[in-house]
Amino acid sequence: MNKIDLVTIQNKTEEYKDKEVVIGGWVRSTRDNKSFGFVDLNDGTTFKGIQVVINNTLDNFAQVVKLNAGSSLIVEGKLVLTPENKQPYEVIASKIEICSATDETYPIQKKRHTVEFLRENAYLRGRTNLFNAVFRVRNACAFAIHSFFQGENFMYVNTPIITSADCEGGSDVFRVTTHNFYDKKVMETATPENDFFGKNVFLSPTGQLEAEAFALTFSKVYTFGPTFRSENSNTARHASEFWMIEPEMAFCDLKGDMVIMEKMIKYIINYVFDHCPQELEFLDQFVEKGLIEKLKNVVSNDFAHCTYTEAIEQLKKNNDNFEFKVEWGIDLQSEHERYLCETIYKKPVFVTDYPVDIKAFYMRMNDDGKTVAACDLLAPGIGEIIGGSQREERYDVLLEKIHKFNLKPEDYSWYLDLRKYGSVVHSGFGLGFDRILMYITGISNIRDAQFCPRTPKNCIF
């Protein structure tokens, strides 16, 4: 079968003009005008799909125009240009093969469904305009990220998914085990030592520690992969499985780190402007009014900067309106983060130099002895989309921190030794891929930014 992708026709319309083509796809809707019928067909390679025109002389005309949404077809016909119509071209069918006709139980009908309903039918939701747009932008963002880092001389590295290094120190992790803990007998004798790896291991909540080892060899590296956290937060921006991009740079301090973060975010957005204009228009119209304007502002303005201490001073003025009252030393809650970027700065803002006690052990101690060289990038509507820091590169200071955080130095021996064998100032960050996608598409729930979202008590297929 010599099927042509609809995107190829879209990109090379002149080449296919008046030619016979074979296309395939799934029916969005049909219309019967007696002498003619129309099928709105989409094969998933484009946002808009194509209109197929069927003359009533076609032998299966009556069947085709009655097809339900979701039915699959292979169409042979001629591509004709229709510049005077709503759609710039269409296919006049000479033969239609019905691969599979859906019945009335097909869940995705033409009317607009709620996102909650579509979540229940996640396996089919890519066939709606909304999810077609979201997953297409997701694809473009992924490509943009590789393209950005490759262009900046970063090397793509793969860090392990099964790990024994619990980097975020006490962050909630999923254990990996072959012990059957549902079997009471097994539980009596189960130990880490007689488990599969002979020790406690987890699904990785970050690839950072390993990325640091790569960076102290290849200078600039990035990971891009799935990460897992078992935190029991049922919010619109937490998923138990999410994708993270973790760049790591040797010879780079926190300032340089933030330069790369801002450049990367702007690059991704510009890439989506260039490659997904139809999707952005749709999302602007139906998901977040003003989305395109918002993104244009992001790429053409500098991000804001403030220290944690400055942020606290500003937030305190609004303390009466916060559920969690603000004072120096607290971990910023979502309401504080959003107030900062949505009300005070009205754009993405870097908050830097957090108190040592509320950040991870590996972050570099500042000279004040109270704060660390960390930064979070907060985005309006989402909150934190990036967490990053300059890493503690001094052996003695790091060892002291490990003790202070009640971690065992022997669990971090190779990480400590990195500080003996060619240590250098280095920094990195983690970009939440699903969160940047939410920001760029206007989607307000992370469950709609992923194909198969995993959240507490929710793991459908």
Distances, alpha carbon 362 to alpha carbons 44, 134, 163, 316, in Å: 44, 35, 17, 29
Residues 360 and 79: their CA atoms lie apart, in Å, by: 59
Q: β-pairing, 304-307 with 241-250?
A: unpaired
Three-state DSSP class for residue 90: strand
208 binds, among Mg ion, ligand 4AD, none (CB under 5 to 8 A by kind): ligand 4AD
Residue placing its CB nearer to ligand 4AD in the complex, 91 or 173 = 173
Query: Which residues are within 8 A (CB) of 353 and not within 5 positions of it... i.e. 6 or more apart?
Result: 307, 308, 309, 366, 371, 372, 373, 374, 375
Q: Which residue of this chain has its Cβ atom nearest to Mg ion in the complex?
A: 387
Residues 340 and 316: their CA atoms lie apart, in Å, by: 11
Residue placing its CB nearer to Mg ion in the complex, 37 or 387 = 387
428 binds, among Mg ion, ligand 4AD, none (CB under 5 to 8 A by kind): ligand 4AD
223 binds, among Mg ion, ligand 4AD, none (CB under 5 to 8 A by kind): none
For binding to Mg ion (CB under 5 A), which residues are involved?
387
Q: Are 293 and 300 in contact (CB under 8 A)?
A: no
238 binds, among Mg ion, ligand 4AD, none (CB under 5 to 8 A by kind): ligand 4AD
Q: How many angstroms from the chain centroid is the CA of residue 57?
A: 48
Residue placing its CB nearer to ligand 4AD in the complex, 37 or 453 = 453
Residue placing its CB nearer to Mg ion in the complex, 46 or 240 = 240
Tell me the three-class secondary structure of 342-403, residue by residue: HHHCCCCEEEEEEEHHHCCCCECECCCCCEEEEEEEEECCCEEEEEEEEECCCHHHHHHHHH
Residue placing its CB nearer to ligand 4AD in the complex, 37 or 348 = 348
Neighbours of 105 (CB within 10 A): 7
419 binds, among Mg ion, ligand 4AD, none (CB under 5 to 8 A by kind): none
Write down the least CB distance from residue 435 to Mg ion, Å: 11
| Tokens coding 429 | 């960050």
Write down the least CB distance from residue 210 to ligand 4AD, Å: 10
Residue placing its CB nearer to Mg ion in the complex, 315 or 374 = 374
Residues 440 and 251: their CA atoms lie apart, in Å, by: 31
Write down the least CB distance from residue 336 to ligand 4AD, Å: 15
For binding to ligand 4AD (CB under 6 A), which residues are involved?
167-168, 206, 208, 229, 238-239, 242, 244, 246, 384-389, 428-430, 432, 434-435, 446
386 binds, among Mg ion, ligand 4AD, none (CB under 5 to 8 A by kind): ligand 4AD
Write down the least CB distance from residue 209 to ligand 4AD, Å: 8
